[in-house]
Amino acid sequence: MSRARADEEEYWHSSKFRAFTFDDEDDELSQLKESKRAVNSLRDIVDDDDDDLERVSWSGEPVGSISWSIKETASSSTSSLEGRDSSLQKGSSSYAAFPKQVSSYSLSSLFKGRNKLPSFQSLSDALSDTGVKNYAPELRRPKAEYKDYSNDWSPKDTVRRMQRGKVCSLERFRSLQDKLVLLDEAVAGHDGNVITAVLIFLKRTLRREILFRELEVRQVALCHLIHFLRETGEQKLLLDLLRFLDRTEEVALSQYREHLNIQDVEKRREFLKVCIGLPFSAEDISHIQDHYTLLERQIIIEANDRHLETAGQSEIFRKYPRKASILNMPLVTTLFYSCFYHYTEAEGTFSSPTNLKKTFKIPDKQYVLTALAARAKLRAWDDVDALFTTKNWLGYTKKKAPIGFHRVVEILQRNNAPVQVLQEYVRLVEDVETRLNLATKYKCHDVVIETYRDLKDRIQLTAYKCKVERGSAEEEKINSILNN
């Protein structure tokens, strides 16, 4: 307390403003309290240009005169916040001549969602939550901001002043009509800052149904309110509003968005389950359903695999410890994981790749690509081979790839497949030019030589001789072809 006072004094002494000093001995806290309460009740007074302690209100009566204070009390008691207000008006008149920086509270107070006194907390509030020091500077804010402050601004003027960052009280817009005019003015000004301020005032002072009804015909204001509710996380009101507007898909998406804030997977899963019942669009609903199913799966797989890993019994987990949990990973990542750790499992298990493929209707192409990448990473070349081998009804085997063998080669190459494996697939590339390019690039000499042989291109074949090692089997092969 005493430190705060010292600060205050220091400020006034060093400031060009004429100081107002409270008669506040330390033991006179109660008096100070009252003073500040009074100061607060003056929020609607004009701060004159001069520093005279005696002031005249906009209506011409000296501030602090009885008639003035009655009027003042009256006007605030008819405000939407009456009861609470009037009790604090007591004793205000005798302190009415303070500097009126308090008006600074009036606008920001509009934002209060709670039905607290608009302009002020009692000093004890101030003491308890932030300490006097925080409060004190508020009183000594430069008065320039509150100059030409008035009670009589039209909606238009009020909006214009707010646009200039000036402080205004909105409390005097009491009738629905007035409030709507104010809102329309704010919207016409296009300044989102002001529109939002007015909306918060409306939100606080209008019944929900009325607010919603009026906003429905005021699209711009409506958008601002929705944005505001989203920013400040007032999810419930937001959903009510969207429901009222019958914007069901938005309700659904907006509710679904919430899952991102849920860290606990079990809770997240529960939440997603509820989301399935939300009115999503026809296209979206299957994705949401899949999202839920996927997380459900991941939870099961994760529990299982963590157990396997810690038990140390499973070779694959010993050899390739998991880098991260599979929870909340995308579907394709999950498929990769399952191709990596659970490739051979029967279709009945949740973690088997074929089961995932079926459940989520993963296209062939996507499945083959993922499985190929996973098996190649493990250097399981037999699995890779099996992936592209199909048997027809006569029992003949045939190589087929839904993604084109050039892609297979690329993926294998990225996983450092040995040349023997690589060239098997390079050979299967249909387009001759692509095949030659890939074979040359990855030094699959046999394929290059055979292709030139089939093309009967002696010149290229001769030229290729310098690319193979001298005295190698490849060189011999070229020579024998050339000699034939």
Among 284, 302, 383, 457, binds another protein (CB under 8 A): 284
Considering only residues 439 to 478 of the shown chain, the ones binding another protein according to CB under 8 A are none
Return the number of the residue (96 or 331) whose C-beta is nearest another protein.
Answer: 331
**What do you get for the CA distance between the two ends of the chain, in Å?**
108
Binder of another protein out of 19, 56, 127, 136 (CB under 8 A): 136
Residue of 197, 206, 448, 449 that binds another protein (CB under 8 A): 197
Binding of residue 71 to another protein (CB under 8 A): no
The dihedral over CA atoms of 66, 72, 74, 75, expressed in degrees to the nearest 10, equals 160
Establish if 253 lies at the interface with another protein (CB under 8 A): yes
Judged by phi (left if over 0) then psi (alpha if -120 to 50, else beta), residue 445 lies in alpha
User: From the CB of 40, what's the least distance to another protein, in Å?
Assistant: 13
Residue choice 33, 71, 140, 453 for contact with another protein (CB under 8 A)? 140
d(CA 297, CA 310): 20
Among 217, 260, 394, 466, binds another protein (CB under 8 A): 260
What gap in Å lies between CA 370 and CA 347, rounded to an integer? 17
Which residues make beta-bridge pairs with 47? 147
**Which of 254, 325, 320, 318 lies closest to 295 in space, CA to CA?**
325
Chain positions 402 to 421 lying near another protein, rule: CB under 8 A, are 403, 407
Q: Which is nearer to another protein, 248 or 328 (by Cβ)?
A: 328
- Cα distance between residue 295 and residue 266, in whole Å: 9
**Binds another protein by CB under 8 A, chosen from 36, 143, 161, 224:** 224
**C-beta of residue 205 within 8 angstroms of C-beta of residue 177:** no
Binding segment for another protein (CB under 8 A), chosen from 184-192, 205-213, 375-383, 465-473, is 184-192
Closer to another protein by Cβ: residue 157 or 246: 157
Residue among 227, 273, 377, 443 that touches another protein (CB under 8 A): 227
The two tokens of residue 412 are 């294998």
Total residues interacting with another protein, rule: CB under 8 A: 71
Minimum distance of another protein from residue 130's CB (angstroms): 4
Closer residue to another protein (CB): 35 or 109: 109
Asked if residue 247 binds another protein (CB under 8 A), the reply is no
> Which range of residues in 66-74, 140-148, 171-179, 461-469 is near another protein by CB under 8 A?
140-148
Strand partners, 390: 398
Contact status: 232 vs another protein (CB under 8 A): yes
For residues 5 and 110, what is the distance between their CA atoms, to the nearest angstrom?
29
Question: Which residue is it, tokens 């060009």?
Answer: 16
Q: Give the C-alpha separation, 404 to 425, whole Å.
A: 10
Give yes or no for residue 220 binding another protein (CB under 8 A): yes
Amino acid at 137: P
> Measured between alpha carbons, how far is 330 from 375 in angstroms, rounded to an integer?
19
* Residues in 151-180 that interact with another protein by CB under 8 A: 160, 162-163, 165
CB of residue 370 to another protein, shortest distance in Å? 8
Task: Pick the closer one to another protein by CB: 91 or 402.
Answer: 402
Q: What is the Cα–Cα distance from 199 to 222, expressed in whole angstroms? A: 9
Tokens for 134? 């925080």
CB of 481 to another protein, least distance (A): 32
Tokens 């050039």 label which residue? 406
Quick note: the x/- pattern for another protein over 81-110, rule CB under 8 A, is: --------------------------xxxx
Q: Which one of residues 53, 223, 386, 482 is an interface residue with another protein (CB under 8 A)?
A: 223
Residue listed under structure tokens 């500077």: 137
- Residue 399, strand partner residues: 389
- Minimum separation from the CB atom of position 61 to another protein (A): 30
Q: Which stretch binds another protein (CB under 8 A): 23-31, 82-90, 282-290, 471-479?
A: 282-290
Pick the closer one to another protein by CB: 80 or 437.
437
Q: Which of residues 15-54 bind another protein (CB under 8 A)?
A: none
- 360-379 positions binding another protein, by CB under 8 A: 360, 362, 365-366, 369
Task: Give the C-alpha distances (Å, rounded to integers) separating 99 from 39, 96, 103, 144.
Answer: 8, 9, 10, 12
Name residues whose C-beta falls within 8 Å of residue 226's C-beta, 6 or more positions apart in sequence: 238, 241, 242
Scan residues 316-355 and list those touching another protein (CB under 8 A).
Answer: 323-325, 327-332
- Asked if 189 interacts with another protein (CB under 8 A), we say yes
> How far is it between the farthest Cα atoms of the chain?
124
CB neighbourhood size of 251 (10 A): 21
Bridge partners of residue 14, in order along the sequence: none
**Amino acid identity, residue 89?**
Q
* CB closer to another protein, 190 vs 467: 190
To another protein, the closest distance from the beta carbon of 109 in angstroms equals 8
Q: What is the CA radius of gyration of the chain?
A: 39
Residue (94 or 134) nearer to another protein, CB:
134
